[in-house]
Amino acid sequence: MNVILKPHTTLEEIKWVEGRLRELGVDVHVSVGKERAILGLVGETACLDDKKIAAWPHVERVIRIQEPFKRVHRLSHPEDRIIQVGDQQIGGKNITIMAGPCSVESHDQLFTIAKHVKQHGAHLLRGGAYKPRTSPYSFSGLKEEGLQLLAEAREEVGLPVVTEVTTPELVPIVSQYADVLQIGARNMQNYGLLQAVGKVDKPVLLKRGLSATIEELLLAAEYIVAEGNEKVILCERGIRTFETATRNTLDLSAVPVIKRYTSLPVIIDPSHAAGKRDLVIPLVRAAIAVGADGIIVEVHHHPEEAWSDGAQSLTLPMFDQMMEEAERVAQAVGRTLHATSMVR
Amino acid sequence: MNVILKPHTTLEEIKWVEGRLRELGVDVHVSVGKERAILGLVGETACLDDKKIAAWPHVERVIRIQEPFKRVHRLSHPEDRIIQVGDQQIGGKNITIMAGPCSVESHDQLFTIAKHVKQHGAHLLRGGAYKPRTSPYSFSGLKEEGLQLLAEAREEVGLPVVTEVTTPELVPIVSQYADVLQIGARNMQNYGLLQAVGKVDKPVLLKRGLSATIEELLLAAEYIVAEGNEKVILCERGIRTFETATRNTLDLSAVPVIKRYTSLPVIIDPSHAAGKRDLVIPLVRAAIAVGADGIIVEVHHHPEEAWSDGAQSLTLPMFDQMMEEAERVAQAVGRTLHATSMVR
Amino acid sequence: MNVILKPHTTLEEIKWVEGRLRELGVDVHVSVGKERAILGLVGETACLDDKKIAAWPHVERVIRIQEPFKRVHRLSHPEDRIIQVGDQQIGGKNITIMAGPCSVESHDQLFTIAKHVKQHGAHLLRGGAYKPRTSPYSFSGLKEEGLQLLAEAREEVGLPVVTEVTTPELVPIVSQYADVLQIGARNMQNYGLLQAVGKVDKPVLLKRGLSATIEELLLAAEYIVAEGNEKVILCERGIRTFETATRNTLDLSAVPVIKRYTSLPVIIDPSHAAGKRDLVIPLVRAAIAVGADGIIVEVHHHPEEAWSDGAQSLTLPMFDQMMEEAERVAQAVGRTLHATSMVR
Amino acid sequence: MNVILKPHTTLEEIKWVEGRLRELGVDVHVSVGKERAILGLVGETACLDDKKIAAWPHVERVIRIQEPFKRVHRLSHPEDRIIQVGDQQIGGKNITIMAGPCSVESHDQLFTIAKHVKQHGAHLLRGGAYKPRTSPYSFSGLKEEGLQLLAEAREEVGLPVVTEVTTPELVPIVSQYADVLQIGARNMQNYGLLQAVGKVDKPVLLKRGLSATIEELLLAAEYIVAEGNEKVILCERGIRTFETATRNTLDLSAVPVIKRYTSLPVIIDPSHAAGKRDLVIPLVRAAIAVGADGIIVEVHHHPEEAWSDGAQSLTLPMFDQMMEEAERVAQAVGRTLHATSMVR
């Protein structure tokens, strides 16, 4: 961390700031330039509050050099982490495909889609039981009935289930049914919720907020890991920009950037980013090519009847085509969708 | 609402879409152009789900013409709403000043600041007891002890209290102590929380999310009002843009835009937008000039010792200067900070 | 185009607006709803000025349905366009690789890099002779001497040359030396320059502006095509967002979106988007996977000595690795870097 | 400037980087931490190319501490600059109002508007003769005929003229007619144009680009000043964000931020930011309240007939109301629109 002082600070004032910094338990190197002094902090700076120091007298600004997250940092866990969900290992050579409807609507709907995606190679079943919606007048999910349907589908079809949890008090019930707990983009900084899933022994799929920086995403993961749960799967799902041709702008560069900073697996949600089903398959190919560890995608056998997100849901034949193209690209980058990843 | 069909749609297909739309209870006007047909919907379209229709076959896209919020729309309540908090009326001719520390830190800190801002004309005391923080290692508030201190300050100093509630299960306890419940920017789309404060008989201060559009802010307000609580105060506090010279970009144009769409009062938080105390007073002047109904501002007697947000907190003398300048601008635009607004 | 009228417009006023619209040579369908009337325009609306109509009395807003560009629209040229540059056909099954230094610095530098990239499969040589720079104190290119070196490199090495032209009066001289004229991101809306290259019989590589929408990019291409030059290659190179981990955010979704609207070829510049060489190869793979027709990439034999953009330039061995990985992904998506694309 | 080295750099490598930095003529302080070394540069760093150093081996990143512009920096000219245009002094206590049509359309149109705004207190006449337009099919100005009309209006009405110049070769002719040369937002980084107006002895009104940071705006001003022309007036006119309720987001915080870094005057263009005339007056009030030195505003006697930007043009009565409200706010902040600023 570097503390830049204001111009015209006196030597006494510099000493005063230096003293206060040393009280925080770090070593300080003072560099006095022509116009201003810079204090370089050495030591355990990851947990120092840079904004607090920025409010001190004589301080112009504070520049972080070390990343403010520690437990999710690759330095604390250099090799890529692999997260086991049912038979599937997320990370490593594997490309994991999570597929299913946006919302669980009915037994028929869920089972038709689940069977189809299982048969064509999906590894996890996705489906929303609790749906955060922008308008209070939109369908907001079947709630516990949806969870029960998901659990039944898991039993019958044989796919582990990933589903969203939207508020701390729902964590116990969703954990009872789900194999992976999803934190949606709108809740990425819902810290009570992050702490609640941090206390559960289930993998967490953490989606990047619409306007969250990569650093903020990793700090959100730090919240979960700090509570003891290290099984976090990160998910890029598009950020909000000025471009309106797509629902959001999928930030695929985030994949190699995140992998530099952390060994947690990273997957891509092309459906929410694009908002239109025609764009999903190209983005799936790109996601695998750029180095993502998996894909979470919306599929519906009758998208035109879907209760939510129909415009971006793949039809069943499109899903099959996606799987074929995904496998070809996976092989081109030395990975595969067809791993036998069973733990014995 | 306008439903644009894909090019080369046949007359039969147009009839099919028209029929489905009529089933939703709206009237449909069909316009067949050279390249494509457009179906204009007439009637109760505010609660139709445009995304669902966009997923239908033959549909290229759907364009909303009416705003998707109804209860907070100015059409449903044309005259400006005035919200009573203690002796102060928020809205109308009044400019309301809410001031206090970012976090409640101690009895001494809170009372020193509260007495000062009361003496210099503030109408409400702000102070955080539950603090959402980007890093899990930052100070996150005194919790219930903070609420108690706020309540004591209200009794002794005579200022109603506004404080943040961060999760649905805290709504009962925060409501017990606070006069106004604040929903922070990160929770603007925490729908469980919005519904919880919608069931309480207390005014709610709803902050715009960092990357929320004005329409989304008004839909969030609609969540609260739909539960029965019409006492919503909207707050613009800066949006996330590419500019890094300020913490966020304060969107002052939002004030006249919001007032066109709704009669709810709108206030400005210049502290969080700017991130630097030097910018706060100019932004307060601008906020009042543009038509805001009030200001919420961070003040600290020792900002360099503040446990959070010190860099953007006004010192006590700066607060006094702010009040003087604010009053001058208020008078220039036909308003005042010194209303006798008591209800009898 | 749809013209939405204000609430409470009278029948007479509607008739007046309808009459003025008919004077513009379009057919008008009037839809009178409960709250307001909507006028649907049918006919040649691509060249109507929607902003002008939006300023009429009684008009609330105007919604475009047809895209405002016509000559570059896919409807006017449905099959993918292929642009011949030397022996290479840009578009179709081919993936075209343009590689070279950011700036032409010297004979040695340019020839070393040019020979290397040619030998490893590049199809065009890139290199800047006129460099737009954010600071007036940065190196701004060797100017005509740079053009001459590029022309010599083309003769000796056998690669056609793409280089930037920054102002209309340089178009004649740059056209004399270059095979492809590049319009940089900062000049995407420099209309005098667009018109000048539109009058030349050379392919133009048009880069998307940092904050340009896809529609604006296509309108900029329309400027060139409207002057008679249909050989336009579009280039996505990252847009400006709030994320600072990368120099810009590469918008790979733009590739399938653009291809929906136009049959012009689209390439990707991963170097400028990423700003860091470590990110370039993953982004090249993703660009080919998503459907781009080529790549323009910065390469330097001593990036640490480069006069500009060294941090994002690939080293020579990295370029070779990029070519191998690119070919593997190209084959996975049914394309190739090794086409014999000679015209005979 | 701080140069952060990569982790695990050896002492020898640190020495090598230090040596190369010293060759650039700066002093270097080395700070060796637990994980990495940081080199602090002291001396004339404003003109060092940080991007070049970032490409060196062993370097992870470079952090600028001093601003990269020097001649426009307040440190090199601490007192606020005042720019004389005709009788009006721009800057100081004065609020300068520039008003007129978006485009010059005809003698009648221009004179009607010019007389009206002069009579009601405007200080400069604005009007476009060369209009950059997003679509090649929009009206692009009367060109030299427009300049002549502007010059006639100046003679007859007695207002100095500000008009846009769009390309270097037009600088001589526009300079012949105009009192202030305007550089539009799209041309803020058209460096050839900046250098051309930097060589002319006329004040330049430099608009911030749609997606330009404040630092980039000041670097663009540095281009002009570096050529010898110090009479630069900066103009904030809205930046591009995700919000679509306004054409752009007016960044009023930019005014106090810019004034911290430079002593050049800053004005606001509310018309282009808002895109709707109803928002203009509130934004004018806010602009003056926040500390701007003036306003440039579009006015038309028949906005519904305007050839461009009609929707955002004030009517004549609205302009009068604006002037009244502007004066009231100006007085509240210790300034005035009615200065006798004649030079004698």
The tens place of each residue's pLDDT in chain C, 344 residues long, gives 888 888 788 888 899 899 988 888 888 888 777 677 888 887 777 667 888 888 888 888 888 777 788 899 988 889 999 999 998 999 999 999 999 999 999 999 999 999 999 999 999 999 999 988 888 888 889 999 999 999 999 999 999 999 999 999 999 999 999 999 999 999 999 999 999 999 999 999 999 999 999 999 999 999 999 999 999 999 999 999 999 999 999 999 999 999 999 999 999 999 999 998 999 999 999 999 999 999 999 999 998 888 877 788 999 999 999 999 999 999 999 999 987 544 43
Q: Considering chain D, what is the average pLDDT of its residues?
A: 92
Q: Which residues contact A175 (CB under 8 A, 6 or more apart)?
A: A165, A181, A200, A202
Mean pLDDT computed over B21-43: 80
The pair phi, psi for residue A157, each rounded to 5°, is: -95, -25
Q: Which of D32, D36, D240 sits opposite A242 (nearest CB)?
A: D240
Beta bridge partners of A266: A234
Q: Does B63 touch chain D (CB under 8 A)?
A: no
The answer to whether the CB atoms of A169 and B166 lie below 8 A apart is no
- Nearest Cα to Cα of residue D73 among D267, D261, D341, D255: D261
For D316-326, how does the pLDDT look when each residue is reduced to its tens digit (9 = 90+)?
A: 999 999 999 99
Alpha helices, DSSP H, located in D144-239: 144-157, 171-177, 191-198, 214-226
- Encoded amino acid at C180, one letter: V
Q: Considering chain B, what is the average pLDDT of its residues?
A: 92
Q: Which of C45, C61, C76, C242 would best serve as a mutation to test chain B binding (most B beta carbons within 10 A)?
A: C242
Q: Does D339 touch chain B (CB under 8 A)?
A: no
The total number of residues shown for chain B amounts to: 344
Q: Is the pLDDT of residue D312 over 70?
A: yes
Q: Is the pLDDT of residue D56 over 90?
A: no
Q: Which of D211, D286, D332 sits opposite B252 (nearest CB)?
A: D286
The answer to whether the CB atoms of A134 and B219 lie below 8 A apart is yes
Q: Which of D304, D307, D309, D313 would best serve as a mutation to test chain C binding (most C beta carbons within 10 A)?
A: D304
Q: Which of D29, D31, D35 would best serve as a mutation to test chain A binding (most A beta carbons within 10 A)?
A: D31
Beta bridge partners of C83: C90
The answer to whether the CB atoms of D282 and B241 lie below 8 A apart is no
> Could you tell me if D97 and D337 are in contact, meaning their C-beta atoms sit under 8 angstroms apart?
yes
The answer to whether the CB atoms of D36 and A65 lie below 8 A apart is yes
For residues D171 and D4, which has the higher predicted lDDT (pLDDT)? Answer: D171
CA angle D279, D280, D285 (to 5 degrees): 105
Give the whole-angstrom CA distance, residue D175 versus residue D256.
Answer: 31
Mean pLDDT computed over B13-33: 85
Q: Which residues of B touch D241 (CB under 8 A)?
A: 239, 241, 249, 251
> Could you tell me if C319 and C120 are in contact, meaning their C-beta atoms sit under 8 angstroms apart?
yes
Give the whole-angstrom CA distance, residue A83 versus residue D268.
Answer: 54
Q: Which residues of B touch C32 (CB under 8 A)?
A: 42
Helix (H, G, I), strand (E, B) or coil at D188: coil
> Could you tell me if C255 and C224 are in contact, meaning their C-beta atoms sit under 8 angstroms apart?
no
User: Nearest residue of B to residue A227 by CA position?
Assistant: B136
- Placement of tokens 């106004």 in the chain: B180
Q: What pLDDT is attached to residue C341? A: 47
> Could you tell me if A296 and A159 are in contact, meaning their C-beta atoms sit under 8 angstroms apart?
no
CA angle B112, B113, B114 (to 5 degrees): 95
Q: What sign results for the dihedral spanned by CA atoms D296, D297, D301, D305? A: positive
Give the whole-angstrom CA distance, residue A180 versus residue B93.
Answer: 53
- Nearest Cα to Cα of residue C206 among C192, C188, C193: C188
Q: Which residues of C touch D193 (CB under 8 A)?
A: 167
Give the whole-angstrom CA distance, residue B70 versus residue B219.
Answer: 9
Q: Which residues contact D54 (CB under 8 A, 6 or more apart)?
A: C310, C311, D61, D62
The answer to whether the CB atoms of B187 and A190 lie below 8 A apart is yes
What is the secondary structure of D238-262 as a DSSP string? -B--S--SSSSB--TTHHHHHHHH-
Q: Does C31 touch chain A (CB under 8 A)?
A: no
Q: Which residues contact C233 (CB under 8 A, 6 or more apart)?
A: C83, C90, C180, C203, C204, C205, C206, C264, C265, C266, C267, C293, C294
How far, CA to CA in Å, does C171 sit from each of B262, C165, C168, C226, D105? 53, 6, 5, 17, 31
Q: Please count the residue pairs, one from chain B and one from chain C, whose beta carbons lie less than 8 angstroms apart.
A: 49
Q: Is the pLDDT of residue D258 over 90?
A: yes
- Placement of tokens 């800190």 in the chain: B109
- Nearest Cα to Cα of residue D72 among D325, D292, D307, D260: D260
Q: Which residues of D touch C303 (CB under 8 A)?
A: 55
Q: What pLDDT is attached to residue A34? A: 67
The answer to whether the CB atoms of A57 and B211 lie below 8 A apart is no
Q: What pLDDT is attached to residue D204? A: 98
Give the whole-angstrom CA distance, residue C210 versus residue A243.
Answer: 11
A15 token code pair: 């000493």
- Placement of tokens 């009326």 in the chain: B89
To the nearest whole angstrom, how far is the Cα of C153 from the nearest Cα of chain A? 33
- Nearest Cα to Cα of residue C100 among C216, C203, C180: C180
Q: D: neighbours with 3+ CB pairs under 8 Å?
A: A, B, C
Give the whole-angstrom CA distance, residue A261 versus residue A114.
Answer: 35
Q: Which residues of A touch D43 (CB under 8 A)?
A: 33-34
How far, CA to CA in Å, does C273 sit from each of A263, B191, C78, D57, D237? 24, 36, 30, 21, 26
Q: Which of A3, A31, A260 would best serve as a mutation to test chain D binding (most D beta carbons within 10 A)?
A: A31
Q: Which of B210, B216, B243, B337 would best serve as a mutation to test chain D binding (most D beta carbons within 10 A)?
A: B243
User: Nearest residue of C to residue D132 by CA position?
Assistant: C191
To the nearest whole angstrom, how far is the Cα of A4 from the nearest Cα of chain D? 8
A139 token code pair: 């369908």
Q: What is the pTM of this model?
A: 0.90
3-state helix, strand, coil in chain B (%, to 5): 40, 20, 40
For A137-190, how does the pLDDT look when each residue is reduced to its tens digit (9 = 90+)?
A: 888 899 999 999 999 999 999 999 999 999 999 999 999 999 999 999 999 999
**With a cut of 70, which residues of chain A have pLDDT below it?**
34, 46-47, 340-344
What is the secondary structure of C165-187 as a DSSP string? --SGGGHHHHHHH-SEEEE-GGG
A187 token code pair: 């809740």
To the nearest whole angstrom, how far is the Cα of B114 from the nearest Cα of chain C? 36
Helix axes of B214-226 and B254-261: crossing angle, nearest 10 degrees: 40
DSSP state of A81: P
Q: Specify burial of residue A257 (Cβ count, 10 A radius: 0-12, 13-18, 19+).
A: buried
The total number of residues shown for chain D amounts to: 344
Q: What pLDDT is attached to residue A344? A: 39
For residues D46 and D286, which has the higher predicted lDDT (pLDDT)? Answer: D286
The answer to whether the CB atoms of A249 and C251 lie below 8 A apart is yes
Q: Tally DSSP H helices, then E strands, for chain B.
A: 11, 14
The answer to whether the CB atoms of A311 and B51 lie below 8 A apart is yes
Q: Does B33 touch chain C (CB under 8 A)?
A: yes
The answer to which of B40-54, C290-304, D261-275 has the lowest mean pLDDT is B40-54
To the nearest whole angstrom, how far is the Cα of A195 from the nearest Cα of chain C? 25
Q: Which of B27, B35, B65 sits opposite C38 (nearest CB)?
A: B65
To the nearest whole angstrom, how far is the Cα of C157 from the nearest Cα of chain A? 31
Q: Which of C136, C168, C310 sits opposite D52 (nearest CB)?
A: C310
Q: Does C20 touch chain D (CB under 8 A)?
A: no
Q: Which of A38, A40, A242 sits opposite D241 (nearest CB)?
A: A242
> Could you tell me if C63 and C2 are in contact, meaning their C-beta atoms sit under 8 angstroms apart?
yes
Q: Does B326 touch chain D (CB under 8 A)?
A: no
Q: What pLDDT is attached to residue C23? A: 86
Give the whole-angstrom CA distance, residue B94 versus residue D103.
Answer: 41
Q: What pLDDT is attached to residue B307? A: 80
Q: What pLDDT is attached to residue A342? A: 43
Q: Which residues of D touch A31 (CB under 8 A)?
A: 29, 31, 40, 42
User: Nearest residue of D to residue C167 by CA position?
Assistant: D192
Q: For chain C, positions 93-112, list CB contacts with chain B under 8 A.
A: none
> Could you tell me if D179 and D86 are in contact, meaning their C-beta atoms sit under 8 angstroms apart?
yes
Alpha helices, DSSP H, located in C158-274: 171-177, 191-198, 214-226, 254-261, 270-274
Give the whole-angstrom CA distance, residue B267 versus residue C152.
Answer: 65
For B84-125, how does the pLDDT look when each residue is reduced to its tens digit (9 = 90+)?
A: 999 999 999 999 999 999 999 999 999 999 999 999 999 999
Q: Which of B7, B32, B242 sits opposite C240 (nearest CB)?
A: B242
To the nearest whole angstrom, how far is the Cα of C105 from the nearest Cα of chain A? 30
Q: Which of A42, A75, A240 sits opposite D242 (nearest CB)?
A: A240
Q: How many CB atoms lie within 10 A of CB C342?
A: 10
What percent of chain A stands above pLDDT 90?
A: 69
User: Nearest residue of C to residue B63 by CA position?
Assistant: C63
